[in-house]
Structure 1
C-alpha cells in the first residue's frame, strides 16, 4: 500500500474506521521525505510542533497566514529524577529554553519574531523557574533568571503574551510567588522586563472568547480558522456561552491558600475547516465530594468539548484523560509531551485505546516511549496503538492542509538539529 492508497482507504465513514496501523507505520516509514530534512511550512498550512527536549513541554504553532505562537517553554531538573528520567536530546550541553528557541528559529517563517507566547499554567516544566536555570544576572536591580521562556527570549522576540492571571495574579485566589521553584515570581519578573525593555504586550486569557488568539497577517483569507478558549483558572466555558466555576464552592467552604495549579490550566480548541485540535495544559485535578465520590475536573471539560481529529493528552498522560473526556473527543490521533518514565501510564493508555468507548481506530503518538516502558508494558494490547517512531524520541509535527481536509503526523529526529524526517502518516479529516 503506497501513501496515496493509504489516504484513500483511511477516510472516516460513519462511526467506524478500521485502519491497519501496522500498514500505516510501514507507509509512513517509506514516505519519500523520510531520511531527508523537513521541507518546512507553506502558506495555508496550520502546524503544531511538539518540541522534544526530555525535560519540558513546549509547542510552537504556525497559523495558516503565518501568525505564530509559542505555547509553554519550560525547564526544570528532570534529569534529577534519576532512573525515571528520559533521554535529554539533542544533549544536556544547553538548557531547554535555548534548544527550544533554536528549533523555533529553524521552522518559523518569521525567523526570530514570534507573535504570541502563552503559558498554560505556572509550573516549571511549562515556564521555567528561579531554582533551575542556565544563568542569572541583575536586571532592573533584581535577580533575573534565564530559564524556560526567559532564556528563549534571549534570541526570540515575543510580540504579546497571554497569561491566565495577569495583572493581579489572584484568579481565582492569590498565587504564591515562591510555589514550584519560584515559577510565579520568575514569570512576573520576566513579564515586567519584557514590557519595559522589549515592548512586549500583555493580555489576560479570556475564557470563552473566540479568536482572542487571532491571525494577524491575513485573517480574511482564512475565515474557516478559529480558536475557542474553553477553560482557565478552574472555570469552563461551554459552547452556549455559559460558564461553570468548578472551584467557587470549594474556595468558599475550605478557604484554601493554594490550589492545584494543574487545574488552573488554559485550554483551547482549534478549528480549521473540517479539522479540529484540542489542547489543555496539565489537567488532572480531582477531589472528594461530601458523599465520598471523586469529582474529576476533566469530566466537566468533556461537556465543553466536541469530536476532534487530534488531541494533546492532558498532563503528559500521567493519571489523566478519564473515560468521559475520551468519549467526548473521540480523537483519531493522541499526542503526548513527555519528560518522565511515569508519563503515559498504563491505565491512561488502556482508556485511550479502549474501543468500547468509541469504535474508531486511533494512534497514540508520544514524543518518546522509552525502552524501559516498552519492557514494562510488553504484551499489553494497547501497545499496538503506540506509534513505533516514538521509541527513540523525536519532535512531532502536526500539519493540517488548507481547509482542513487532510492532515499528517511527522516524526523528526531529536538526536541533532538536522530536522531529519523519520516518518509521515497522512489522514483525511472526518
Structure 2
C-alpha cells in the first residue's frame, strides 16, 4: 500500500531536519563545538547573547567592531517555585552574574565596557528588584541590583530608557524598585554619566558601527517607516479612566537591528492585547512588528505571555528563530507558543529557544514545550561577518564555563 505524505507531514519533517543540531566530525574554526567553551567573539561578527539567570531579561550585543549594547538586566525577587532558581547559583545576585558574563565575553574586544545600555521599561525583571537586604552602593545613594549591579562591574557609555528624566508618563512611579533605579540614574548624572530618553524613529541613538538599530516604538508612539516620522496610538492620558491608563508593559521600547541581510526584533514586554478589541490603541506590538517587517530572529515580547506575540505580530515578523526569555512558571503561555509554531500564520521551518522553562510549565503544556529545541541556557545568536548567515548556540548556565550544549544552523539571512 502506497504511503501518502500530506503537506503538513512534509513541513513537519522539513522542520525537524532543519532543527537538527550540528554534528560535523571536523568542525571549522567558525563553529562552536558541543562540550567545549563558547569560542570568543571575532572581529567582523555580530553576537547577541540572551543571558539566562532565571530572574529576568538581559541581552548583550557585541557589534562587528567590538562596540557593545546591553538590553535590560533583570533581577526579579520572585522566589521559586513561581520563578526559576537563580543561575548559576545563589552565591551572587542576578545583576552580578550578568555583569560577570558580560565582562567575560567583552574581553575579546580588548576593552570590557558597555558602549550603550537600553532599559526597555521599569519592571524588576528588567531593571532589578530591591528589598531590605539589597546592599547599598558605595556612598549609599541607591542599592545594587540589576542595572546598577552591572554598572558597578562595567563602565557604561550611554544609558537610554523610555521616560528619562521625569518618569511621569503615563503616571508617576512610587514602587521601591523604580525609585531605586531613578536614584541610580540621578547619581550617574551627577557624576557626568550620559542618560537619554528613547527617541522613537531614530536610527542613530543606539550606535553599533556597521549595524542599523532603528527605534520602533515606546510610550504608545510608533515609527511610520518614513524617515524619523512617528504616530501616536494612545489617546490623551487625561481622557482615560483610571483603570484604562496603559501599564508599563504597553509603554515598552521596541527596536529592529539590521546587519547586512540579517534582521533581529526585540520589544521588551510590549503587548498586542487590546482587551478583546475594546481598546485597539493598546496594541502597540502589532504596528511595531509590521513596520519592522520580516526578520531572521525575534525575541518573543513579554516572555511569550498570553497578551503578546499576537497573530499579526507573528505574520509580520516571520522569523526563522524565536527566542523566549523565560524565568517564570507562566513563560511561555500555550497560546503564544502555539502562535510562534503555527504553520497557518506563516509557512516554513522555524525553531523556538527558551532561556528557561519551569517544570510546572512542562507539566501543564508538554505537548507544546516538547517542540522547543532548547529549554534552558544562554542563547547566543552568532552572525557571520557581513550578515549573510547566522547560527544559534546554546550554552550551559549552571556555571561560568560557557560550555556549548548545542549548536543550530547555519542559516542564510
> What is residue 217 of structure 2 aligned with on the other side?
231
Query: What SS does the aligned partner of 2:393 have?
Result: strand
Q: Which stretch shifts more, 129-138 or 113-122?
A: 129-138
Distance 1:131-1:285 versus aligned 2 partners, 3 A rule: farther
How many Å separate the matches in 2 of 1:228 and 1:383? 32
Q: Which stretch shifts more, 417-426 or 83-92?
A: 83-92
Alignment of 1:36-75 (within 5 A): 36-75=36-75
> What is residue 423 of structure 1 aligned with on the other side?
406
Deviations 1:132-171 (A, max 9, x none): 76412573xx64211111112221111111121112323x
Query: What SS does the aligned partner of 1:423 have?
Result: strand
> What is residue 170 of structure 2 aligned with on the other side?
173
8 Å CA contact 1:133, 1:145 repeated in 2: no
Q: Which stretch shifts more, 238-247 or 43-52?
A: 238-247
> What is residue 197 of structure 2 aligned with on the other side?
204
How many Å separate the matches in 1 of 2:183 and 2:283? 34
| Match 2:324 to one of 331, 336, 339 | 336
* Cα drift, residue 371 of structure 1: 3.5
Distance 1:311-1:120 versus aligned 2 partners, 3 A rule: same
How many Å separate the matches in 2 of 1:289 and 1:421? 43
Aligned residues: 394
Deviations 1:247-299 (A, max 9, x none): 12454343679630001111100001111000001012644489687953323
Contiguous gaps of at least 5 residues in structure 1: 1-15
8 Å CA contact 2:60, 2:69 repeated in 1: yes
Alignment of 1:280-291 (within 5 A): 280-284=267-271, 286-288=273-275
| Match 1:322 to one of 310, 330, 333 | 310
Distance 1:258-1:403 versus aligned 2 partners, 3 A rule: same
> What is residue 239 of structure 2 aligned with on the other side?
252
| Match 2:333 to one of 345, 352, 357 | 345
8 Å CA contact 2:21, 2:408 repeated in 1: no
Distance 1:47-1:138 versus aligned 2 partners, 3 A rule: closer
1:189 and 2:177 equivalent? no
* Cα drift, residue 211 of structure 1: 2.3
> What is residue 382 of structure 2 aligned with on the other side?
399
Distance 1:228-1:132 versus aligned 2 partners, 3 A rule: farther
8 Å CA contact 2:327, 2:357 repeated in 1: no
8 Å CA contact 2:76, 2:125 repeated in 1: yes
Alpha-carbon RMSD across the aligned residues, in angstroms, is 2.5
> What is residue 91 of structure 2 aligned with on the other side?
93
How many Å separate the matches in 1 of 2:400 and 2:165? 37
How many Å separate the matches in 2 of 1:370 and 1:76? 15
Distance 1:148-1:133 versus aligned 2 partners, 3 A rule: farther
8 Å CA contact 2:141, 2:184 repeated in 1: no
Deviations 1:302-330 (A, max 9, x none): 33220000000000011111100000000
Distance 1:17-1:87 versus aligned 2 partners, 3 A rule: same
Distance 1:41-1:240 versus aligned 2 partners, 3 A rule: same
> What is residue 313 of structure 1 aligned with on the other side?
300
8 Å CA contact 2:322, 2:351 repeated in 1: yes
Distance 1:26-1:129 versus aligned 2 partners, 3 A rule: closer
Q: Name the structure where strand makes up a greater proportion of residues.
A: 1
Distance 1:246-1:174 versus aligned 2 partners, 3 A rule: same
| Match 2:363 to one of 349, 361, 375 | 375
Normalised to the residue count of structure 2, the TM-score between the two structures is 0.88
Contiguous gaps of at least 5 residues in structure 2: 1-10, 28-32
8 Å CA contact 1:288, 1:294 repeated in 2: no
Normalised to the residue count of structure 1, the TM-score between the two structures is 0.85
